[in-house]
Amino acid sequence: MTATPIVSPENVVLGQEPGRSVRGAASLRRRMARRDKESGLDRGIVSATEWRTPRVRFPLATVQLILLILLVICGLLPILWLMKSAFTPTQDTLTQPLAIFPHGATLSNITAAFGINIKIQSYFLNTIWVAAGAWVVQIVVATTGGYALSILRPKYGKIVSGLVIATLFLPAIVLLIPLYLTILHPLVIGSSLLNTFWAVWLPSGASAFNVVLVMRFFDSLPREIFEAAETDGAGPFRLFWSIVLPMSKPVIGVVTVFAIINTWKDFLWPNLVLPGGTDPSSIQPLSVRLPAIQGTTEFGPFLASLAIATLIPIIMFLVFQRTFLNGGGFGGAVKG
């Protein structure tokens, strides 16, 4: 979390000019890519002439083939194994993990994962709730705050944005314990937020990264538009709702992707503030619940649960490939 912005803001706004629709930008990018290909502008280290000489082509193609095989083994096979084990009886997985259905396939693991003891569907629902609420909080804080700081610009705005940017460089762990105490004894409300979704939702809004991202985007919008709207009699609220928000779809999209990926992956914080109580499956998201059930669940259904929890992000990834590979990669890179 700490140092993400060092790489991100320039890359994240995907080279789109503000105000241009996402679809327009995508088709423009495709057209430019095609043009580059035709004129050989997208060349790498090896030139077209070198690629035609067998002395270069043969070893290079071999290296690439080996890499492809390695990537299939490391990237694809573990996931395929997990999918296979979801349909394999527990005993077969334990005794012959690398055999493919030695005694036939079964659906019982899958039905058990959705059954009374595991209830994976409710973990999913909790994850969706956690992500949805965190998304709303992050969008509200980032857009209203960004609007005030970079478009309305009150006199004290520089101090506020300075304070926000200062928190960018602070490792999240400094906050772990005081934040936990804040959740335990919140101001004003009085009662503990422990075991409520608010404990995840509210702190997620304090993301300096989001605010900086939105501010940079708003700074790049042409100010003439706002002046014209002011001349036409639009107040600050009208300006925000009818002009700035509709124009900021691209940056809202980026914040959304980051918000969902981060809440989906997070373990330490939800594990701390959603300990569960009497019925943990009604509040804990997947990332917290799956480690919790590993000791008490039969192996086959447990692996089926892991497989189900893997299938959905993989489908999302394959559908939204371009978004992930263009911008989403930064979340993973920071974890190290």
Partner 1 sequence: MTTSTEPLASRQGAPRTTPRRRVRGTPLTWVRRGGLANLLFLLPLLGIFGVFSWGPIVESVIISLQHTNFVVTTWSDPIWSNFEFVFRDPTFWLAVRNTGYFALLALIFGYPVPIVLAVIMSEVKRFKGLFSVLAYLPVVVLPVVSVLLWKNVFYDAGATGVFNIILSWFHIPAQPWIQSTATAMPSLVLEATWAAAGGTIIIYLAALTNVPPELYDAAEVDGAGIWQKLWHVTLPQLRGIMLVTFILQIIGTSQVFLEPYLFTQGGPVQSTTTIMLLIFQYAFQSSDGGSNLGVATALSLMLAAFLAVFSAVYFRVTRSWSQN
Q: Could you say which residues in the range 244-303 bind partner 1, by CB under 8 A?
A: 264-265, 267-268, 272, 286-287, 290-291, 294, 299, 302-303
Cβ proximity to partner 1, 237 vs 246, nearer residue: 237
Closer Cβ to partner 1, 129 or 180, answer by number: 180
What distance in Å separates the CA atoms of residue 46 and residue 34, rounded to the nearest whole number?
Answer: 19
Beta-carbon contacts of residue 49 (< 8 Å; ≥ 6 apart): none
Q: Which residues contact 271 (CB under 8 A, 6 or more apart)?
A: 287, 288, 291
Rounded CA-CA distance 21/250 in Å is 8
Kindly tell me which residue out of 91, 171, 228, 319 binds partner 1, with binding defined by CB under 8 A.
171
Tokens of 128: 């969706």
- Of positions 114, 124, 129, 330, contacts partner 1 by CB under 8 A: 330
Site string for partner 1, 117-156 (x = CB under 8 A): --------------------x--xx--xx-xxxx-xxx--
Q: Does 98 help bind partner 1 (rule: CB under 8 A)?
A: yes
Closest separation between CB of residue 108 and partner 1, Å? 19
Taking the complex as a whole, how short is the minimal distance between the CB of residue 111 and partner 1, in angstroms? 20
Q: Rule CB under 8 A: say whether 160 interacts with partner 1.
A: yes
Q: Do 178 and 111 contact (CB within 8 A), yes or no?
A: no
Residue with tokens 């917290």: 288
What single DSSP character describes residue 202? H
Q: How many CB atoms lie within 10 A of CB 217?
A: 26
**306-325: which residues touch partner 1 (CB under 8 A)?**
306, 309-310, 313-314, 317-318, 321, 324-325
Contact 90, 299 (CB under 8 A): yes
Min separation Cβ 107 and partner 1, Å: 21
218: nearest Cα among 136, 134, 142 = 142
- Name the DSSP class of 46: S
In the bound state with partner 1, the residue whose beta carbon lies nearer, of 109 and 287, is: 287
Q: Are 270 and 288 in contact (CB under 8 A)?
A: yes
Which region among 100-108, 113-121, 172-180, 276-284 touches partner 1 (by CB under 8 A)?
172-180
| Per CB under 8 A, 40 contacts partner 1 | yes
Out of 113, 202, 273, 283, name the contact with partner 1 by CB under 8 A: 202
Residue 24 near partner 1 by CB under 8 A: no
* Candidate residues 88, 90, 161, 263; the one interacting with partner 1 per rule CB under 8 A: 161
Q: Indicate the SS3 state at residue 300.
A: helix
